[in-house]
Chain A
């Protein structure tokens, strides 16, 4: 069976992943709404996962996919805990703009 990358070429996957990652970074830095920031982080994680799977096909090795497996587990845990924190902050301060989270001011 042929490697599918023969048709598509690995550089396309790389470009796609990179641009997705940059969109994610842009979202993190640009938006002030904490929920949108979280979603941008999920976008970044997805970009990385995509690249892992692409390279796993390139090397014909399953280890890339195993790593994606664990990455997804961690992402799930992170979202759960992050949203719980967000909810507490919202209950305490009434707004979810990250500009209000200035308690660590030195």
Chain B
């Protein structure tokens, strides 16, 4: 029974994909959209079923479908592990996924390839579910690769634009580089423990007396490299801002709520490995903190509304990795959930704005939209307050937990994270003020067509805004439902005591004040003074460096792409010409030999007879001498 429901969970989106691929064009746009949404909604319903079932059976459901690989002493079977962590992930992936599908029905309505869009979205959800429910690292890897593929397909959805295609390729290739790390990590783990199954790994590590920590750290580091690729951390984060080339629902689903959280999921899944390698954890924490700061600084000066949100995502993911690096997995999971709510809301809201302005994404040409698009404004305001860490909203609770953990472990990291949070508040409200306040800066034509978006767009916005508001309730300090829920996965939670002392209240106050300072600065500059960022040409100095993303893309291009190009040119010019001359030389030699040999056959019978006689003499002498 559970097996069947698990199969339904995984295969419903895949069925949606198949139907949309084969029949999407013939059934029409709305129907294909409804089919897509329905398949994800079915998965959501089954995840709720499993959520309820887990209260009765806290051990989780281990469903084996079939024996897959059996090589010497490594046995990998294809199965699902539905425990607290995977069901939690499933709930928000499929839940937010269905909302975004609903949103896309209206958003992509003008596109002629809408059925293809829903097919790709469904395929993505299928792979994401596979990634999350897999019972071993290899099934996770299948999902990992699959979501990378779907990301490529969806980023380059409007394939007629070569820039979008390049962005899609960049995303895929950078993901692949990370995947190499993941694969190497999987190989090392498989070699060390002869298994890739989570449960078996856990017992093997718990029971092992002498684990080679050097190799375990190497495996953990390689797995983390895979996570940096997928979750856009330094050094493999440059694909995420370029990935904004895809349609806004794609950015919301993949690059805010689901795919980029895969790295965090994997590390949380394998927490028992990372707990044994404190060095790698330090590396993770430091990289997370630095990414958070760097991305926040870049986001301060961007003018494209989606790029600001993209850098915000990278920054928030950095904070999550900081939490993971400090061993506070439950805090990272909490922030993942709240971030999914408010970031998806922000992206969908920006999509609504872009839709109303018929494709305009530059904030310098927006403004004064709050009267024309009230629902969008209010929902985005709520989400911005959440991300800035204003109390009551969900972001406050999750971000505060991260800052608290950082403070208890390592003060410099706390400073870095706090600065990043202040900058977050600043640029988010810069976005809000530039987009919704003061006067409209676009063309007259656009001004006449401004209107609030239809219900299918605003409904998901409202739902997500509500969730962003009340989402903090799942893990209140001192009384965290989430921590109790995740205890079977993270056993050390049971022994931890969370008490709120004066330090904690002080830190909370500091964080809130910091957020309000950021909002105030943004208000002062962009609302009161009504500053509008200038044209690209007018940006100078350090701001220019930030605007050009610290020239990191150019640096990568110079170091990696150019050198590979030079190497291939070398091979083409030097090595290949010589090699082909050598190979052709064989032919030439044979040719010249045969040219000389041709002279034997001059057709004169006399010569042939002479050759007969000579051969006869030779044979006779040979036979005679052989005796």
Interface residues of A (CB under 8 A from B): 25, 28-29, 32, 98-99, 101-106
Contacts and interface: CB of A to CB of B under 8 A. Distances in A.
Residues of B in contact with A, size category = 10 to 19
Interface SS majority for chain B: helix
Interface in B551-606: 598, 600-606
A25 B613 contact: yes
A105 to B, nearest CB: 3
Question: Which of B598, B600, B602, B604 has its CB near the most chain A CB atoms (within 10 A)?
Answer: B604
B624 interface: no
B601 A98 contact: no
Contacts of A98: 604-606
Given A29-B606, A29-B609, A106-B598, 17 more contacts: A25-B613, A29-B610, A32-B606, A98-B604, A98-B605, A98-B606, A99-B606, A101-B604, A101-B605, A102-B602, A102-B603, A103-B603, A104-B601, A105-B602, A105-B603, A106-B601, A106-B603
A102 B606 CA distance: 10
A99 B600 CA distance: 15
Contacts of A102: 602-604
Interface string B352-365: 00000000000000
Contacts of B598: 106
13 contacts: A28-B609, A28-B613, A29-B606, A29-B609, A29-B613, A98-B604, A98-B605, A101-B604, A103-B603, A104-B603, A105-B601, A106-B600, A106-B601
Nearest 4 Cβ contacts at the A-B interface: A106-B601, A105-B603, A102-B603, A104-B603
Contacts of B603: 101-106
A70 B448 CA distance: 115
Interface string B596-627: 00101111111001100100000000000000
Contacts of B606: 29, 32, 98-99
Nearest to A104: B603
Nearest to A105: B603
Interface string B239-265: 000000000000000000000000000
Contacts of B613: 25, 28-29
A52 B605 CA distance: 29
Contacts, number: 30
Contacts of A104: 601, 603
A28 B598 CA distance: 24
A4 B53 CA distance: 120
Contacts of A99: 604, 606
A28 B606 CA distance: 8
A51 B472 CA distance: 120
Nearest to B598: A106
A39 to B, nearest CB: 14
A99 B598 CA distance: 18
B613 to A, nearest CB: 6
A71 B598 CA distance: 36
B87 to A, nearest CB: 83
A101 B604 CA distance: 7
Contacts of B601: 104-106
Contacts of A32: 606
Contacts of B605: 98, 101
Contacts of A105: 601-603
A103 B606 CA distance: 13
A89 to B, nearest CB: 11
Nearest to A102: B603
Contacts of A29: 606, 609-610, 613
A99 B605 CA distance: 7
Nearest to A34: B605
A25 B600 CA distance: 21
Contacts of B602: 102, 105-106
Contacts of A28: 609, 613
B616 to A, nearest CB: 9
Nearest to B601: A106
Contacts of A101: 603-605
A17 B370 CA distance: 125
A90 B601 CA distance: 23
Question: Which of B604, B606, B609, B613 has its CB near the most chain A CB atoms (within 10 A)?
Answer: B606
Interface in B42-101: none
B544 to A, nearest CB: 77
B147 to A, nearest CB: 67
Nearest to B606: A98
B353 to A, nearest CB: 83
A28 B612 CA distance: 11
Nearest to A31: B606
A62 to B, nearest CB: 27
A35 B609 CA distance: 15
A89 B606 CA distance: 17
Nearest to A106: B601
Nearest to B613: A25
A38 B603 CA distance: 19
A53 B227 CA distance: 98
B45 to A, nearest CB: 83
A100 to B, nearest CB: 10
A32 B609 CA distance: 12
Nearest to A28: B609
A101 B608 CA distance: 12
A28 B605 CA distance: 10
A27 B526 CA distance: 118
Contacts of B610: 29
Nearest to A30: B606
A14 to B, nearest CB: 14
A105 B606 CA distance: 13
Interface in B430-475: none
A102 B598 CA distance: 14
Nearest to B599: A106
A91 B605 CA distance: 19
A88 to B, nearest CB: 16
A98 B604 CA distance: 7
A35 to B, nearest CB: 14
A33 to B, nearest CB: 12
Interface in B396-444: none
